[in-house]
Amino acid sequence: MKHFHPLFARIDLGRLHANVDLIHRVAKVPLLPVIKANAYGHGAVAIAKELVKRKEVAALCVGTVAEGMELRKAGIKGRIILLDWVFPEQASDMAELGLEASVSSLAGAKALARRGVRRPIVVHVKFNTGMARLGADMEGAVVMYEKIAALKGIRIASVMTHLADSGNGGGFTAAQLELFDGALAAIKARGHALPPRHAANSGGIFLHPESRYDMVRPGISVYGVQEFGEKDAGLKPVLSLHARVSFVRDVKKGDSVSYGMRWTSPGRRKVAVVSLGYADGYHRVLSGKARAIINGKYAPQIGTICMDSAMFDVTGVDVKEGNIATLIGEEGRLKVAAVELAREAGTIAYEILCGIGRRAERFYINK
């Protein structure tokens, strides 16, 4: 059966690998790429299959046990690290799948240890140095580490922390790393051999060389989006998002478009209805702020974005039903970046990419 795709994303695997090349040249240590949240909207299984080909990639990072299970069912056999919390009820599934856990407490480690009798469960001990999300507080972190190291059924693969403000060059990251280094020194002073250390996310890799340690965890940078610093790092966006024009109509002066009459035509205008909406991650808050590229021209979004449709002013543009609108991506010299949409929506590019819904068919190309 031949399929017609009103809404689709193109994922450029050539750019994916070029970004990995660049990240590794900067980091100079093994990579632990983050592919949680469906690889930030890019398709976790397809991205994982590309990344495991790379000798620079030591393991893949996901968020949840379910995400790890998806990769295992797809035949991904390498190391998979869970970055989010593992509940005791999930320990058996985690052990069976051979996933590695991040642990933030002795109680959490003990819950996993009970399932690791036949084969030790691999864990990454996480310290909270300022993110105050997961991770053991620094006051008791060293003692906790010792007690986890003594547990039967547990093998510590690394010690880690997470940077809260690495996208900026300020002193908070330095303060976090100072706390982390202090804990590591204390562990070593108590006679323990230090396991590999990792802290750097994308901002850390590019802006804070001291955070690179033994491994790094690139996330958004893998997908070619820069949410850190002001200097262009040379990353190339991997994803572009496209939708078909479903209907073209003329409106006259005074006519309103879409819910709530938020846009009223100032004169005769041509309007294109495009087949995507907030159900597909094209956020309603972008109403009247976004733009698309249609037939080589920028077209401003008008009226309230609907669940399944968004309208654009295409006055003076030769547009027909079935034509393709680019919502994220490039056409010649024209460009609409995920970062641009994020700024208009008052958020970050992560949310724009992660929000792209399952109705968008993903196509993988290699330019």
Catalytically active residues are 36, 259
Decide: helix, strand or coil at residue 85.
coil
Question: Which phi and psi angles does 88 have, rounded to 5°?
Answer: -55, -35
Nearest CA to 41 out of 327, 332, 334 is that of 327
Of 256, 241, 244, the closest CA to residue 308 belongs to 244
User: How many secondary structure helices (H) and strands (E) does the chain include?
Assistant: 11, 18
Residues β-bridged to residue 364: 11
> DSSP code of 120?
P
Query: Which residues on adjacent β-strands are paired with residue 81?
Result: 61, 100
Burial class (CB in 10 A: 0-12, 13-18, 19+), 333: exposed
134 alpha-carbon distance from chain centroid: 18
Query: Which is it for the CA torsion 7, 8, 9, 12, positive or negative?
Result: negative
**Closest Cα partner for 295 from 334, 265, 249?**
334
Q: What are phi and psi of 157, to 5 degrees?
A: -95, -25
d(CA 25, CA 309): 42
DSSP-assigned letter for residue 311: E
Among candidate residues 145, 135, 158, 229, the one with its CA nearest the CA of residue 191 = 145
Q: Are 123 and 157 in contact (CB under 8 A)?
A: yes
Cα Dmax for the chain: 80
